[in-house]
Amino acid sequence: MRQLVLHRLLWSLPSLAIVSALTFVLASLAPGDAARTVLGTNTDPAAYAQVREQLGLDRSLPAQYGGWLAAAARGDLGDSLFTHEPVVEILRSRVGVTLTLIVGATVIAAVLGVAIGVVGAVRGGVAGRVTDALAMLGMAVPTFWLGLLLILVFASRLGWFPATGFVPFAEDPLGWLRSYTLPVLTLATAGVATIAKQTRGAVLDAMGTEYVRALRANGLPDRAILLKHCLKNAAVPVTTVVGLVMIGLLGGTILVEQVFALPGLGQLAVSATLQHDLPVLVGVVTTYTLVVMASNLVTDVGYGWLSPRMEAGR
């Protein structure tokens, strides 16, 4: 297990370098730059050149990336081109909002998805068809549309939850929970559908094995077979899907944070892209990359815990 963790950590370094370099390249291909955003479209060329020099945009792209990479190796991600705040501080103030959203949505998706999938596999018939129908519906519904629908029903009409905004936990724990409820449910819906469908298939496969049929023939209760054997065998593929769902939720946070006006990394990424604030944008992308790597690492550790033989094979 230690070798696995060390191996993942070592591979994270070149991965981060590649992702950050691609971000620099792709951002340079977008029309406009930060100097043009500051001065506007109709401006004096001399003033435009002066602002580009002040922001360091007059240097070549390799020189800009080389300077950023050298500073990043020391833990310095630079300063925002507009607010002049350290990017590390900007990320620190927002990363908690996004991580809470992702973790909360993943937990709800895993719990509800596994429960629905198991019921669909055990009951079969109508329950199985309902599970498949819900899975298809959950994966087809656009995230932004679902968020607006929840706002319309539970915020505007019923008044149970706030439509937008964020309340820090330290100020009001109940208000914090209410401000997260609709965004988390919006983000978790597609994950619930995906995990439910995968769980149902994995449990059905486990229930159809010769080993399980032999246990049932020996008189072992169906409840014990399900809890001690079927779910254990289905845990590995379900764990894979949960890890993939968590990674997929990262993209969903951008839309959800825009719809519910949450001050997270997704909202920050949108504003940094529109303003061509490259240091902030690269910082956000790097943070997202670290979250993906952490999710993959947790999934691999889960493999080792659920299936020691699989871990030994690695």
Last residue within a domain, chosen from 22, 42, 76: 76
Q: Are residues 59 and 174 in the same domain?
A: no
Least confident of 85-89, 104-108, 203-207, 225-229: 225-229
Q: Are residues 71 and 151 in the same domain?
A: no
Model confidence band, residue 284 (pLDDT cutoffs 50, 70, 90): very high
pLDDT value of position 183 = 93
Q: Are residues 200 and 291 in the same domain?
A: yes
Higher pLDDT, 201 or 1: 201
User: What mean pLDDT do residues 243-264 have?
Assistant: 88
Q: Are residues 163 and 193 in the same domain?
A: yes
Model confidence band, residue 312 (pLDDT cutoffs 50, 70, 90): very low
Q: Are residues 143 and 201 in the same domain?
A: yes
User: What mean pLDDT do residues 199-216 have?
Assistant: 78
E-strand ranges in 10-125 read: none
Q: Are residues 132 and 246 in the same domain?
A: yes
Interatomic CA distance for residues 39 and 239, integer angstroms = 50
Residue 133 one-letter amino acid: A
pLDDT value of position 91 = 93
pLDDT above 90: residue 105: yes
DSSP 197-251: HHHHHHHHHHHTSHHHHHHHHTT--HHHHIIIIIHHHHHHHHHHHHHHHHHHHHH
Q: What residues contact residue 200 under an 8 Å CB cut-off, 6+ apart?
A: 116, 117, 118, 120, 121, 128, 131, 132
- How much of the chain exceeds pLDDT 90, in percent? 12
**What φ, ψ does residue 143 adopt, rounded to 5°?**
-60, -45
User: What mean pLDDT do residues 275-293 have?
Assistant: 88
Q: Are residues 68 and 123 in the same domain?
A: no
Q: Are residues 308 and 271 in the same domain?
A: yes
In a domain, 1, yes or no: no
Least confident of 102-106, 139-143, 245-249: 139-143
pLDDT above 50: residue 175: yes
Q: Are 197 and 138 within 8 A, CB to CB?
A: no
Q: Are residues 66 and 198 in the same domain?
A: no
In a domain, 229, yes or no: yes
In a domain, 18, yes or no: no
Residue 147: its H or E element:
helix 143-150
DSSP 256-291: HHHHHT--SHHHHHHHHHHHT-HHHHHHHHHHHHHH
Q: Are residues 165 and 298 in the same domain?
A: yes
pLDDT above 80: residue 187: yes
Domain boundaries, position 52: 32-76
Higher pLDDT, 303 or 20: 20
Q: Are residues 99 and 72 in the same domain?
A: no
Closest CA to 242 of 107, 100, 135: 107
Mean of per-residue pLDDT scores for the chain: 82
| pLDDT tens profile 3-40 | 666 766 777 778 888 888 888 888 877 777 777 777 77
Q: Are residues 119 and 37 in the same domain?
A: no
pLDDT value of position 304 = 64
CATH (domain of 206): 1.10.3720.10
Model confidence band, residue 143 (pLDDT cutoffs 50, 70, 90): confident
pLDDT value of position 311 = 47
Q: Are 68 and 79 within 8 A, CB to CB?
A: no
The separation between the first and the last C-alpha atoms of the chain, rounded to the nearest angstrom, is: 10
Last residue within a domain, chosen from 76, 104, 137: 76
- Mapped onto helix, strand or coil, the DSSP state of residue 113 is helix
Give CA separation, 202 vs 82, 124, 156, in Å: 51, 14, 40
Closest CA to 15 of 304, 290, 306: 290
In a domain, 110, yes or no: yes
Last residue within a domain, chosen from 15, 45, 76: 76
In a domain, 20, yes or no: no
DSSP 70: H
In a domain, 100, yes or no: yes
In a domain, 9, yes or no: no
User: What mean pLDDT do residues 273-284 have?
Assistant: 88
Interatomic CA distance for residues 303 and 235, integer angstroms = 9
Interatomic CA distance for residues 88 and 76, integer angstroms = 7
If one counts the domains in the chain, the total is: 2
pLDDT value of position 313 = 45
Model confidence band, residue 314 (pLDDT cutoffs 50, 70, 90): very low
In a domain, 6, yes or no: no
